Structure 1
């Protein structure tokens, strides 16, 4: 009879809390570093203490009582032989009273406040006196409600003792590392030191992470990130994708012939980079970045033409229906007349389609008659079956999560010899990626940059004005309308309260309608039915509507060359890249364009530091790459990256703004390590990333 497997003991509450913090392995505990430190290595005499000092004192309780003014509290007087101190506890239990009874010897730690009535401490930590003083600072760890510091300290200490902290770096890389981190720290030394630093250490060097022990840790983390990105590239290099070649005189050449404008040098260069990638039987993984209005759509259309020329299908996805429509309108305008003679069509898939229409589209896609499939994330749902998908173009890539990218892979048919294939991926973003991010988080992608705007675009003048000058702004709108121009007015979207956001936009719409008699003023917000949104957009695009009041749904991809003025209300509530995206909706025609950033200072105060920095950056420059660099400085990489990181590990310790020297070392070391020491590289990735490395491959 087979032996029964022993039942696993259920986890205790603190164990569950550890798992919730991601502390499952010994190495996870060893890498859970203190937020700050408390110095319990010495006892201070009250006569030597300073006001406001965090101090540890020891003495005898001479008085203990429960007072009721101004509220119920335990008041304890402690005498350390040089002076006395009153301890106040507003929350206390019988056990506290027992430990702090008159005559008890206690050791107490807290913030000392001096005043007219002598020293006081409010809610200090305390325990019975005696016992040896520790010889290192006491760590205070990031934790959650169910996890007391004392339990976490024990767990971390035992994890640190058990974890395998053996050296993963080969000797030839250690020399370079020691030069960069100033010292010969091993990972084991660095971790032991950071968990229990001696009392003589400079707390500043620990807290700003400039200490060599921190540097060693950050270098290891950056190396793990680079190794996993290079591994993702290597693994992709053995995957198969269809090789796509443009046919002479085919769709690609025809499209170039019918475009009403000439391509810029940058568009041609990027188009060639993509065409070269598509020729290879390895899946392309390219990020196409360009500032707002630099002409990415036409580059995407040319790539789609190559895939269709080669007899395959192309999918184009955008995050919202309005965006998908915008791209769709342009792409269809260019491609549909050329596809019709070939018996091919463009299919359209969104979440809000009627069942019958959707069924027709799914049939076209499955039969292969639909050469180009455009839509929202509905394109990658299970019931969508492609005949021959070879290229997926994803717009505004950072809103497109990792799981969706993985789902796309399952849509490609097998190669002629039956082996599995992947589609080529082209991701487009109008939020340029600063160089340090491209080198770290995006190291697994090839990046193409369109760095010039098409001729005929007019520079946009940006003005920052207070909301108190609203009347002047409305007067300016009248002037633009009189010249036959159109105007956007954007209100912020307040995530927590759609009702409030709606009332803002609705009130502004009513105010502008009243101030501009005879002008059609439209309203666009997130809760409107799709059909109504489309109707409003077509009136504005067609020029019948003079002013469009909108919440941020027009952020990306909307193209109305006649619009020459953009007013952004409560501009202080928007992020920098969002403001830049919105501003890019004007200046698309020949007319001089302007963007007015209206801010409302808080009652009787001034704007916060961050909001001021953002508005200043917008007024200073209209270069998307400079904006992205400043945005990264203001926000840090976590927020900047948004959904790209839904799964890919964010750096916990390294900071791209200050640790570029360590990133440069890691970029050089990673390929050497993978080539010459693959087993060590694998061990290093497992130590730092555990299961998270999978996600980086998408």
Structure 2
């Protein structure tokens, strides 16, 4: 008999397609798809003992069933047991449902008990026809994360089947994981069908030993993947980049109109030592807003170009890329360096000229947005790639850059920059294969920013404060939020605010900046504001990073509760860049959610980027913090970096030993847990 072919995408049922959409392709994927919560169908509660507001399971005989047309058409079923009776109310129902719930039927029902005008009732309960001797469930019933096209019943059956088939053998050598934890099969069998005797609290807060087993395995897979990536990269070759004595690096240092801070000097030296080696640098440069990362990047680029290689600098937005471009041209062109500019908005002959300059090697430095990693862009000798605000790029974009870099014989060095400091637990997990340099010192002359929180009702008081400031010659940012569901609404918000402020501040230039403006228009507005020809700039979040106007001393952020904590900190960093005392006003609209309150409280209490990052991680979790949501890949499903630090430290200690002594077991473990997601961790 010929072997049966697997079904094509067209032949698959809607639930099968829905399973694939949720990433549930392998038996192990289904086995690791854990319940959100559980329902207790192991006991029957007498109707008389059930309390209002409680979700209970009752069983009885239907004494009456009829359709009522008063108000809206509904099916009313009266159910009686030996102790009492209650009403079952169905607002949507099928003829088959009405037929099955006829008088005399024995029914097992689960739902929330409510008080009603006609006595106690359940609305749309789950119903099951039973016999006198139909057994009860012996374990709690799982309720899984699912989608509209994937019924719970179908998913439960799929999980039960997958659990039987999934290869859940013990891959790791004995003694690898913390003591007294169940086997993987025992842990998963238990979590999918826990005993009704178990404490629901230990299941919900994930402290049960079965949960601890999964967390320990997941963190170990993640650490192994990072360590494998680090070791694979150590085998690659990169150009050793050493600057000439009295070369470009020294000339740039001498030409700068300021002295480097001690922290900047330290990280410049760390980067130079990496670049001089014949293996690819993979370093993260982190520093708070305004700590001077751009000049460090310029000095790294100078070493690269001095050694005869090209450098690329990529930023997430045109405004930030242009800010870098202007600074780098100002510093490097007088020293004889050709800098090319490449973004999506550059078209035609101008674009081709830039592409030719990069491909021929004439452009020693190429600055731009993600346009730098497009297929058509080629470099003659790319020695160093610098990515600014790397977490703002989607994971797929970061992988595209890594793949592009890997296409040449020698792997370029990679320097990533972030003004969102990485909390220690994140550095230990997602950045475990990176060297980290930290600029932990601000340049002299920076004044601390005072942060004030006001309700939206105080708007006119804030405008009065702006009037005072601009009269004294200060400059002001007013930021309106980006509402993802409606860019039109966002634009209207910024436009209306711009008109209102222009009316309220006669005699003062009020500008408007938003993402839909043509690049030339954006550049003209920013040039006016930078040159102090404009008092107030109303903007959307396009000014979040990189914009540097030392005279701006007041920042107003409207609907501050809609922004993430690191984004608020970035925006606040646009002021306080000179010697003038600066203020950041956070305006919110009531009522505030708990998350909104936590964010505004953190902003008012600290200017420390590392503390802000720590609290942001607590509030949002690692996926959002790192921009992982852009990839659609959950980075950690079970472990919690704020709660599971001991398990993480255990995994960090175990990973190198496992990779050295049991490499095959280590590879199988990573494949089981991460599959293709291992690539995302390397981005």
Do both share a fold (TM > 0.5)? yes
Per-residue deviation, residues 11-69 of structure 1 (Å, max 9, x unmatched): 22222222122111111111111111111212222233222332222222221111122
The residue that corresponds to 1:203 in the other structure is: 200
Q: What is the aligned counterpart of 1:628 among 600, 605, 613?
A: 613
The residue that corresponds to 1:503 in the other structure is: 492
Greater mean alpha carbon deviation, residues 300-309 or residues 205-214: 205-214
**Contact 1:169–1:680 (8 Å) recurs in 2:** yes
The residue that corresponds to 1:694 in the other structure is: 679
What secondary structure does 1:531 align onto? Answer: helix
**Contact 1:399–1:644 (8 Å) recurs in 2:** no
Separation of aligned partners in 2, 1:57 and 1:467 = 51
Once the two structures are TM-superposed, the CA of residue 495 in structure 1 deviates from its matched residue by 2.4
**Contact 1:390–1:412 (8 Å) recurs in 2:** no
RMSD (CA atoms): 1.9
Per-residue deviation, residues 465-487 of structure 1 (Å, max 9, x unmatched): 22332333223223322332211
What secondary structure does 1:171 align onto? Answer: coil
Question: In 2 relative to 1, CA 358–184 (structure 1 residues): closer, same or farther, beyond 3 Å?
Answer: closer
Q: What is the aligned counterpart of 1:617 among 594, 599, 602?
A: 602
Q: What is the aligned counterpart of 2:164 among 161, 173, 185?
A: 161
Separation of aligned partners in 1, 2:146 and 2:498 = 47
Q: What is the aligned counterpart of 1:280 among 256, 277, 291?
A: 277
Q: What is the aligned counterpart of 1:513 among 493, 502, 511?
A: 502
Separation of aligned partners in 2, 1:370 and 1:672 = 46
Greater mean alpha carbon deviation, residues 397-406 or residues 677-686: 397-406
Separation of aligned partners in 2, 1:408 and 1:633 = 30
Once the two structures are TM-superposed, the CA of residue 328 in structure 1 deviates from its matched residue by 1.2
- Describe how 1:250-649 pairs up with structure 2 within 5 A: 250-338=247-335, 340=336, 344-409=337-402, 420-601=409-590, 606-643=591-628, 646=631, 649=634
The residue that corresponds to 1:53 in the other structure is: 54
The residue that corresponds to 1:657 in the other structure is: 642
Separation of aligned partners in 1, 2:150 and 2:19 = 7
**Contact 1:365–1:385 (8 Å) recurs in 2:** yes
Question: In 2 relative to 1, CA 93–496 (structure 1 residues): closer, same or farther, beyond 3 Å?
Answer: closer
The TM-score normalised by the length of structure 2 is 0.96
The residue that corresponds to 1:132 in the other structure is: 135
Once the two structures are TM-superposed, the CA of residue 414 in structure 1 deviates from its matched residue by 8.4
Once the two structures are TM-superposed, the CA of residue 4 in structure 1 deviates from its matched residue by 7.5
- Describe how 1:84-103 pairs up with structure 2 within 5 A: 84-103=85-104
Per-residue deviation, residues 377-435 of structure 1 (Å, max 9, x unmatched): 111222222111000011110122333334334656988xxxx2211111111111111
Once the two structures are TM-superposed, the CA of residue 7 in structure 1 deviates from its matched residue by 4.2
Separation of aligned partners in 1, 2:139 and 2:404 = 58
Separation of aligned partners in 2, 1:644 and 1:148 = 25
Separation of aligned partners in 2, 1:600 and 1:114 = 36
**Contact 1:462–1:595 (8 Å) recurs in 2:** yes
What secondary structure does 1:160 align onto? Answer: helix
Q: What is the aligned counterpart of 1:214 among 211, 227, 239?
A: 211
Once the two structures are TM-superposed, the CA of residue 157 in structure 1 deviates from its matched residue by 0.7
The residue that corresponds to 1:233 in the other structure is: 230
Greater mean alpha carbon deviation, residues 511-520 or residues 624-633: 511-520
Greater mean alpha carbon deviation, residues 527-536 or residues 117-126: 117-126
Gapped regions of structure 2 (runs ≥ 5) = none
What secondary structure does 2:420 align onto? Answer: coil
Residue 172 in structure 1 maps to residue 159 in structure 2: no
Once the two structures are TM-superposed, the CA of residue 350 in structure 1 deviates from its matched residue by 1.5
Once the two structures are TM-superposed, the CA of residue 572 in structure 1 deviates from its matched residue by 2.0
What secondary structure does 1:64 align onto? Answer: strand
Gapped regions of structure 1 (runs ≥ 5) = none
Greater mean alpha carbon deviation, residues 531-540 or residues 635-644: 635-644
Greater mean alpha carbon deviation, residues 310-319 or residues 15-24: 15-24
Per-residue deviation, residues 544-569 of structure 1 (Å, max 9, x unmatched): 11111111111100011111111122
Separation of aligned partners in 1, 2:347 and 2:191 = 60
Separation of aligned partners in 1, 2:402 and 2:679 = 14
Separation of aligned partners in 1, 2:36 and 2:490 = 38
**Contact 1:463–1:595 (8 Å) recurs in 2:** yes
Separation of aligned partners in 2, 1:691 and 1:407 = 15
Greater mean alpha carbon deviation, residues 642-651 or residues 665-674: 642-651
Q: What is the aligned counterpart of 1:685 among 655, 670, 673?
A: 670
Separation of aligned partners in 2, 1:7 and 1:81 = 56
Question: In 2 relative to 1, CA 119–620 (structure 1 residues): closer, same or farther, beyond 3 Å?
Answer: same
Once the two structures are TM-superposed, the CA of residue 261 in structure 1 deviates from its matched residue by 1.1
Question: In 2 relative to 1, CA 118–412 (structure 1 residues): closer, same or farther, beyond 3 Å?
Answer: closer
Q: What is the aligned residue count?
A: 678
What secondary structure does 2:259 align onto? Answer: coil
Separation of aligned partners in 2, 1:467 and 1:134 = 54
Once the two structures are TM-superposed, the CA of residue 598 in structure 1 deviates from its matched residue by 1.9
Separation of aligned partners in 1, 2:632 and 2:279 = 24
Question: In 2 relative to 1, CA 62–562 (structure 1 residues): closer, same or farther, beyond 3 Å?
Answer: same
Once the two structures are TM-superposed, the CA of residue 115 in structure 1 deviates from its matched residue by 5.6
Q: What is the aligned counterpart of 1:147 among 150, 167, 173?
A: 150
Separation of aligned partners in 2, 1:48 and 1:409 = 64
Per-residue deviation, residues 577-620 of structure 1 (Å, max 9, x unmatched): 1111111111111111111112232xxxx322221221111111
